[in-house]
Amino acid sequence: MTEPLHRALGLTDDELASIRSTLGREPNRDELAMYAAMWSEHCSYKSSKVYLRSLPTQGPRILVGPGQDAGAVDVGDGLAAVFKMESHSHPSAIEPYQGAATGVGGIVRDVVAMGARPIAILDPLRFGPLSDDRNRWLLEGVVAGIGGYGNCIGVPTVGGELQFARPHAANPTVNVMCVGVAPAERLVTSAREVREGSVLVLFGAATGRDGIGGVSVLASRTIEDGADETRPSVQIGDPFAEKLLIEASLELVDRGLLEGLQDLGGAGITCAVSESAARAGLGAEIDLDAVPLRERGLEPFEILTSESQERMLAVVAPDRVDEVRAVCERWGLPAVVVGRLVDGGALRVRIRGTTVAEVSARSLADEGPEYARPREPPEAQDDLLNDDPTFATVTTSPEDAFVTVLSSPNIAGKQWVWEQYDSIVQGGTVRGPGGDAALVRIEGTLRALALSSDGKGRFGLLDPYLGAAHAVAESARNVACTGATPLAITNCLNFGNPERPEVMWQFAESVRGIADACRALETPVTGGNVSFYNESGDSAIWPTAMIGMLGVIEDYRLAVSQAFGPGSWIYLAGETFPELGGSEFGEAVLGVVGGRPPALDLERERALHLLLVHAAGTGMLQSGHDCAEGGLAMALAESAIAGGTGFAVTIPGDEPPHIGMFSESASRAVLSVDPSRATELEDAAAGLGVPLARLGETGGPRIVFDGVFEMTVEEAGAIHENAIPMLLAG
Partner 1 sequence: MRYRAQIVVSLKDGLLDPQGKAVEGSLPALGWTNVSGVRVGRYVQLDLEADGADAAEDQVRRMAERLLSNPVIETFDVVDISERNGA
Partner 2 sequence: MSELPRIGVVTFPGSLDDRDALRAVAFMGGEGVPLWHADRDLAGVDAVILPGGFSYGDYLRCGAIARFAPVMEEVAAFADAGGLVVGICNGFQILCEAGLLPGALVRNRQLRFVCRWVHIRVETSISPLTGDLVAGEVLRVPVKHGEGRFVATDEQLARIEGEGFVVFRYCGDDGALGDEHTPNGASNAIAGIRNEAGNVVGLMPHPEHAVDPDVGATGGQPLFASLLSSALARVAP
Contacting partner 2 (CB under 8 A), which of 10, 96, 147, 551?
147
Q: Which is nearer to ligand ADP, 242 or 626 (CB)?
A: 626
Given a contact cutoff of 8 angstroms between Cβ atoms, the answer to whether 375 and 497 are in contact is: no
Q: Which is nearer to partner 1, 51 or 416 (CB)?
A: 416
Q: Which is nearer to partner 2, 119 or 462 (CB)?
A: 119
Shortest distance in whole angstroms from residue 690 CB to ligand ADP = 19
Site for ligand ADP in 130-169 (CB under 6 A): 157, 159-162
x/- track of binding to ligand ADP for residues 624-653 (CB under 6 A):
--x-xx------------------------
What gap in Å lies between CA 648 and CA 570, rounded to an integer?
9
Q: Which is nearer to partner 1, 208 or 435 (CB)?
A: 208
Q: Look at residue 231 and give the partner it binds from partner 1, partner 2, Mg ion, none, a contact being a CB closer than 5 to 8 Å depending on partner kind.
A: partner 1
What gap in Å lies between CA 570 and CA 265, rounded to an integer?
49
x/- track of binding to partner 1 for residues 199-238 (CB under 8 A):
------x--xxx--------------------xx-xxxxx
Shortest distance in whole angstroms from residue 239 CB to partner 2 = 6
Element (DSSP H or E) covering residue 81: strand 79-87
Shortest distance in whole angstroms from residue 383 CB to ligand ADP = 29
Contacting partner 2 (CB under 8 A), which of 96, 124, 268, 428?
428
Closest-CB residue for Mg ion?
454
x/- track of binding to partner 2 for residues 550-569 (CB under 8 A):
------xx------------
Bridge-based pairing state of the strands 283-287 and 346-351: parallel
CA geometry: angle 11, 12, 15, nearest 5 deg: 85
Site for partner 1 in 89-118 (CB under 8 A): 94-95, 98
> Which amino acid is residue 535, in one-letter code?
E
Shortest distance in whole angstroms from residue 725 CB to partner 2 = 11
Closest-CB residue for ligand ADP?
160
494 binds ligand ADP (CB under 6 A): no
Q: Closest Cα partner for 549 from 449, 404, 668?
A: 449
414 binds ligand ADP (CB under 6 A): yes
10 binds partner 2 (CB under 8 A): no
Query: What secondary structure letter does DSSP report for 213?
Result: T
What gap in Å lies between CA 290 and CA 286, rounded to an integer?
9
What contacts 685, CB < 8 A, 6 or more positions away? 573, 611, 691, 692
**Where does 644-677 have alpha helices with state H?**
657-662
Number of residues that bind partner 2 (CB under 8 A): 31
Contacting partner 2 (CB under 8 A), which of 239, 268, 398, 435?
239
Site for partner 1 in 508-567 (CB under 8 A): none
What gap in Å lies between CA 426 and CA 48, rounded to an integer?
37
Shortest distance in whole angstroms from residue 139 CB to partner 2 = 12
123 binds ligand ADP (CB under 6 A): yes
What gap in Å lies between CA 566 and CA 569, rounded to an integer?
9
What gap in Å lies between CA 440 and CA 553, rounded to an integer?
10
Given a contact cutoff of 8 angstroms between Cβ atoms, the answer to whether 715 and 641 are in contact is: no
**Where does 58-161 have alpha helices with state H?**
89-94, 96-112, 133-153
Q: Which is nearer to partner 2, 190 or 426 (CB)?
A: 426
Q: How many of the other CB atoms lie within 10 Å of CB of 339?
A: 25
95 binds ligand ADP (CB under 6 A): no
> Which amino acid is residue 502, in one-letter code?
E
454 binds Mg ion (CB under 5 A): yes
What gap in Å lies between CA 90 and CA 541, rounded to an integer?
12
What contacts 425, CB < 8 A, 6 or more positions away? 151, 154, 155, 156
What gap in Å lies between CA 177 and CA 154, rounded to an integer?
15
By CB under 8 A, which span of 425-433, 611-619, 633-641, 665-673 interacts with partner 2?
425-433
Q: Which residues have a catalytic role annotated?
A: 42, 88
Shortest distance in whole angstroms from residue 100 CB to partner 1 = 13
- 542 by Cβ neighbours in 10 Å (0-12 / 13-18 / 19+) ranks as buried
Q: Closest Cα partner for 562 from 637, 484, 631?
A: 637
Cα→Cα distances 629→470, 582, 597, Å = 11, 10, 12
Shortest distance in whole angstroms from residue 359 CB to partner 2 = 38
Q: Look at residue 309 and give the partner it binds from partner 1, partner 2, Mg ion, none, a contact being a CB closer than 5 to 8 Å depending on partner kind.
A: partner 1
Site for partner 2 in 303-362 (CB under 8 A): 331-332
Cα→Cα distances 255→161, 248, 340, 450, 617, Å = 37, 11, 21, 30, 39
Cα 142 from chain centre = 15
By CB under 6 A, which span of 346-354, 501-509, 622-630, 681-689 interacts with ligand ADP?
622-630
DSSP E strands, 252-333: 260-263, 283-287, 311-316
Q: Which is nearer to ligand ADP, 210 or 454 (CB)?
A: 454
Given a contact cutoff of 8 angstroms between Cβ atoms, the answer to whether 293 and 207 are in contact is: yes
117 binds partner 2 (CB under 8 A): no
Contacting partner 2 (CB under 8 A), which of 77, 240, 370, 538?
240
Shortest distance in whole angstroms from residue 255 CB to partner 1 = 26
Q: Closest Cα partner for 583 from 678, 659, 680?
A: 659
243 binds partner 2 (CB under 8 A): yes
Shortest distance in whole angstroms from residue 240 CB to partner 2 = 3
Contacting partner 1 (CB under 8 A), which of 3, 185, 193, 295?
295
By CB under 5 A, which span of 191-199, 202-210, 447-455, 709-717 interacts with Mg ion?
447-455
- 519 by Cβ neighbours in 10 Å (0-12 / 13-18 / 19+) ranks as middle
Q: Which is nearer to partner 2, 352 or 557 (CB)?
A: 557
Contacting partner 2 (CB under 8 A), which of 244, 438, 451, 540?
244
Q: Is the dihedral of CA 459, 465, 466, 471 positive or negative?
A: positive
What gap in Å lies between CA 89 and CA 726, rounded to an integer?
25
- The residues that touch ligand ADP, with contacts defined as CB under 6 A, are 123, 125, 157, 159-162, 414, 417-418, 433-436, 452, 454, 478, 626, 628-629
- The residues that touch partner 2, with contacts defined as CB under 8 A, are 144, 147-148, 151-154, 238-241, 243-244, 331-332, 418-430, 441, 556-557
- The residues that touch Mg ion, with contacts defined as CB under 5 A, are 454
